[in-house]
Structure 1
Amino acid sequence: MSALPPALPSQRGHLRLALLLALAAAVATLLLQPYLMVLLAHTHARIRLPLWQLVGIQVLQTTVLCLVLGWLGLIMGARYRLDAPWLRAWVEQRPNPSLHGRWLLAIVLGAISAVIVVALDYAHAESAMTHHIGGRGLDLAWRGALASFYGGTAEEIMCRLFLVNLFVWLAARLHRGQANRTIYIAAIVLAALLFGAGHLPALVASGGHFTVFTVTRVIGLNALVGFFFGTIYWKFGLEHAMVAHFSADIVLHVIAPLLLN
């Protein structure tokens, strides 16, 4: 479980850390744009706004959303040791947490989760994880490499820092303010399922076939990696989940296109 100092973080500390996370999400949203230009090419063609305005709106929306959700998540999770301990230590200028980092483990587990997904999905012509975007090989790889930063920041802020913390906080309130192992696991599973469902709009926008099978596959495969990220978050902190998510996306959006296209 993520280690925090005995005293609960201050409200100012929550806000400063949320601002840092929101800034990282804003940069990641900018880096995501080359990937979206291919993934949502048909959708962008129907929008009359200039590209710079569209990108500006997306960056602003993501920044505000991650700021608010990140701040709320930090508040809800502080009591239950669901936090970003290394980033918090840096923001608040205090010693690093006593918990030993497991960065290599996070990288390996993230990559393994992605390999499992690729293996499960390989037999199908339309990839649930890449939503059948156009382009091949190196073109997909460099776009996917940039897009990987978005998954490792914005998606982890929204799906782990906010959703997992929200579910733990709600369940704990019904359990005399205490969170046990069952509550943590249930929160991780629920957040993972919502994380999977969150990929459905991209499937529709990219022109993928919207059937019971494809919907189940998109939700199920994304929920699988989401469960890995959630468990890593619970055990080691948000930073480790971010590293694991980035590692998984590199496999899914860089290595897999190079090897399979």
Structure 2
Amino acid sequence: MNDGSSTWGAAARGAVALYVLGMVGVAALAIHSVPSLRAIPELAVLSYPTLVLVAAANSTVLLAVFVALGAATAPRTGLHSHVFAWASGGSPDWDAYRRSLPLAVGLGAALFVLITVIDVALAPFTGLESVEAIGDATVLEDLLASVPMRLLYGGITEELLLRWGVMAPIAFVLWWVRNRIGEQTEEPPTAVLWVAIFASAVAFGVGHLPALASTFDLTPALVVRTVLLNTIVGVALGWLFWRRSLETAMVAHAAFHVVLVAVSVVAMLLF
């Protein structure tokens, strides 16, 4: 399948399309972060639009860097994005994407169940009761307010950062090194892709620690739990990116959060 990446101009168009898509998630994250920023005395005097810009600044720059890295490496390693293919003048297989949706939704739901079971098993060591503790109406309200951020930033932007922007470059670099020191291959071997999947999944897990540290005192058990659970999710999403498409991984990631929120809301209403 041709991603239209034979020229830099085509790759740039694909990168811009993915960047615009990812900025939807950045905006959702920034809006969600405004109340927290208002709690900081030095920032409380700033206007709402200014706070949104402050909240979006780092992610805006990081997204540009990682989208560019992915645009330069993903097509060369056979890792596919339908949006990138469409915008760069290639041939996106939308039928294949539609056929992958049941797998994406099912895998996202299954991941939630698996993560919940493991989290409950680790609770005696971490002191956490569940993946998403629901205690009162305020917590439920906060959870519902986080839905756009979870679906758009988590489902779209995080996949662009970690799968497109980290997994693809790692796969490309490992493949390039292997071709220089060993037998040359026309595409990355399976082992190279699995290393890239695992490395980006661990980065995905580590990337959740700063947010966790803002709520809990980090203990070794809590760090291991957080990195482990997110690595499991990251491996599954990386596999989807490799075997199907970036957009399939996005849908699975979003489906995970949909099930999480739905189960949390039902638990709150019933108990």
Both structures adopt the same fold (TM-score exceeding 0.5): yes
Please name the residue that 1:96 is paired with. Answer: 92
1:53 aligns with 2:14: no
2:108 aligns with 110
Question: Are positions 1:12 and 2:9 aligned together?
Answer: yes
Aligned residue in 1 for 2:263: 256
Matched, 1:82 2:85: no
How far off its partner does 1:133 sit? 10
Deviation at 1:95, TM superposition (A): 3.9
For residues 3-48 of structure 1, give each alpha carbon's deviation from its aligned partner in whole angstroms, at most 9, with x where no partner exists.
Answer: x32864421222222222222222212223464457xx4x752352
Pair member with larger Rg: 2
Give SS of 1:160's match: helix
2:173 is equivalent to residue 170 of structure 1: yes
Task: Give the percent of matched residue pairs that are identical in Structure 1 and Structure 2.
Answer: 26
Q: Tell whether the 8 Å contact from 1:141 to 1:257 is kept in structure 2 after alignment.
A: no
Which among 241, 245, 251 is matched to residue 237 of structure 1? 245
Unmatched runs of 5 consecutive residues or more in structure 2: none
Query: Which structure 1 residue ranges, 5 or more long, are not aligned?
Result: none
| Equivalent position amino acid for 1:203 in 2 | L
With CA pairs under 8 Å and 6+ residues apart, which has the higher RCO, 1 or 2? 1
Please state if 1:198 is matched with 2:207. yes
Matched-pair contact (CA < 8 Å) for 1:131–1:202? no
Q: Please tell me the residue identity of whatever aligns with 1:53.
A: T
The worse-fitting range, judged by mean Cα deviation, of 29-38 and 51-60 is 29-38
Deviation by residue 1:95-114 (Cα, 9 ceiling, x = unmatched):
43388221111111112112
Say which of 59, 73, 80 aligns to 1:62: 59
Q: AA paired with 1:87? A: V
Q: TM-score, normalised by structure 1?
A: 0.85
Report deviation, 1:117.
0.8
Change (3 A) 1:129 1:195: farther
Instruction: Give the conservation status (yes or no) of the 8 Å contact 1:21–1:67.
Output: no
Q: Is the 8 A contact 1:22 1:64 kept in 2?
A: no
TM-score normalised per structure 2: 0.82
How far the C-alpha of 1:75 sits from its partner, in A, is: 0.9
Q: Check conservation: 2:3, 2:75, Cα contact below 8 A.
A: no
Q: Judge conservation of contact 1:69–1:158 (CA < 8 Å) in 2.
A: yes
Alpha-carbon distance change, 47 to 30 in structure 1, aligned in 2, over 3 angstroms: farther
Higher mean C-alpha displacement, 97-106 vs 164-173: 97-106
How many correspondences in the alignment? 252
Give 1:169 shift: 1.1
Equivalent residues of 1:82, 1:165 under 8 A apart:
yes
Q: CA RMSD in A?
A: 2.7
Select 1:184's aligned residue among 183, 189, 193. Answer: 193
